[in-house]
Amino acid sequence: MEILKGVIRKSVPLLFILCGISILINWHKIGFAGYFGNTRYIPHSIIIGGLLGLANLRGLVWGIETLLGTARANTRLVYLSLLRLGILFLIIIILAAMRLINLIGLVTGLTTVFVVMVYEGIRKARG
């Protein structure tokens, strides 16, 4: 739970900084950015991707804490993880089908949370 708080504390400001930087970039001059969705949605997509990454991490922590010490925890954890990932993909597909996100921004937000999570994990492991 300590790592989760550290990831949230470091990810949220970083996501807003990346969102601000993406507002300053003229995405219309970058030709390939338009292939992944409407370029004006990139700042929103960074925030949405970060929130989905944090929700996914919170679900993982909840699943592990719930199943610690129970018999057959491995099987239940696998099913809960598949359900969580299925819900995550469903949300992404719905947002993409409604053209409310840009995939570049979404991947940027998800990657930011992932990198902070790895950093916090390494920092915690070193003591």
Is the pLDDT confidence value at 20 over 90? yes
**Domain containing 40: what range?**
2-126
Contact at 8 Å (CB) between 116 and 108? no
Digit-coded pLDDT (tens) for 80-104 = 889 999 999 999 999 989 989 999 9
Q: What is the distance between the alpha carbons of residues 59 and 20, in angstroms, rounded to a whole number? A: 28
Digit-coded pLDDT (tens) for 61-71 = 888 887 776 66
**Interior CA angle at 54 toward 36 and 95, to 5°?**
35
- What's the structural domain count of the chain? 1
Average pLDDT, the chain: 88
Is the pLDDT confidence value at 111 over 90? yes
Query: Cα torsion for 30, 31, 32, 35, to the nearest 10°?
Result: 120
Residue 69 has what pLDDT? 64
Q: What is the distance between the alpha carbons of residues 10 and 112, in angstroms, rounded to a whole number? A: 10
Is the pLDDT confidence value at 25 over 70? yes
DSSP 41: G
Q: What is the mean pLDDT of residues 10-27?
A: 92
Is the pLDDT confidence value at 47 over 80? yes
Q: What's this model's pTM, rounded to 2 decimal places? A: 0.86
Residue 77 has what pLDDT? 78
Residue 19 has what pLDDT? 94
Q: How confident is the model at residue 38 (pLDDT cuts 50, 70, 90)?
A: confident
Q: What is the distance between the alpha carbons of residues 40 and 34, in angstroms, rounded to a whole number? A: 9
